[in-house]
């Protein structure tokens, strides 16, 4: 069994998280949600808000013991202030993973959307619907931050399958050199592709 902790870092809103487990044929959700730091706590201390994120991730890493962590990378179109705040949260995410000996893999937002929804311009609703379909969930994952985290986890599981079956190499930055456009989405819409996970 291969277990991944997906994380969708946020500069101000909730930080999404999701644990997905795969046996190589099917995927299932073990846990998901989003941490919203109280406004009072954020205003009182930026460090306190980061501490909350760190504690959450440490708790998840200890409880579920994932083999890898998949994180959505910083969106380059963000303004400088937002990008810096997001980088702070991402730093805490990386610290928690390092403290627990878990390797981290980063995926660009468009890469995740292309893998899960079939195109890099998918909106929040489309991503939620596709994640629900791919993981055979009874309910749509809420909030959207949690669905994004599950999507990142699915993207990494797909990357791992490509690595094992086709020898796709890892980039120097630690990211995977993959182009999984529509790979997962194909099964959700009834189309077949080599090496794709399915819940059918």
Active site residues: 8, 72, 145
Phi and psi at 65, nearest 5°, equal: 45, 60
Q: 181 — alpha (psi -120 to 50), left (phi > 0) or beta?
A: beta
Give the DSSP per-residue string, 154-186.
HHHHHHHHHHHHH-PPBPTTS-B----TTHHHH
Does residue 166 have a cis peptide bond before it, meaning omega lies within 30 degrees of 0? Answer: no
- Name which of 165, 142, 181, 106 is nearest 32 in CA terms: 142
| Cβ partners under 8 Å of residue 35, min gap 6 | 14, 15, 17, 52, 53, 56
- Name which of 68, 54, 64 is nearest 96 in CA terms: 54
Return the structure tokens found at 161: 């399958």
Q: How far apart are CA 49 and CA 107, in angstroms?
A: 24
């Amino acid at each position: 069994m291969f277990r991944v902790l997906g994380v969708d870092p946020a500069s101000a809103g909730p930080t999404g998280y999701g644990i997905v487990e795969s046996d190589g044929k099917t995927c299932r959700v073990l846990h998901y949600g989003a941490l919203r730091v109280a406004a009072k706590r954020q205003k009182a201390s930026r460090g306190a808000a980061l501490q909350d994120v760190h504690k959450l991730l440490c708790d998840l890493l200890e409880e579920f013991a994932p083999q890898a962590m998949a994180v959505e990378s910083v969106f380059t179109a963000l303004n400088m202030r937002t990008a810096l705040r997001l980088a702070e949260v991402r730093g805490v995410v990386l610290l928690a993973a390092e403290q627990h000996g878990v390797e981290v893999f980063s995926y660009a937002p468009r890469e995740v959307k292309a893998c899960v929804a079939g195109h890099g311009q998918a909106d929040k609703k489309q991503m939620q619907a596709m994640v629900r379909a791919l993981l055979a969930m009874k309910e749509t994952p809420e909030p959207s931050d949690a669905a994004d985290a599950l999507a990142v986890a699915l993207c990494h599981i797909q990357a791992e399958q490509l690595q094992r079956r086709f020898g796709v190499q890892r980039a120097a930055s630690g990211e995977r050199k993959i182009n999984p456009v529509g790979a997962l989405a194909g099964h959700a819409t009834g189309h077949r592709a080599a090496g794709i996970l399915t819940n059918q």
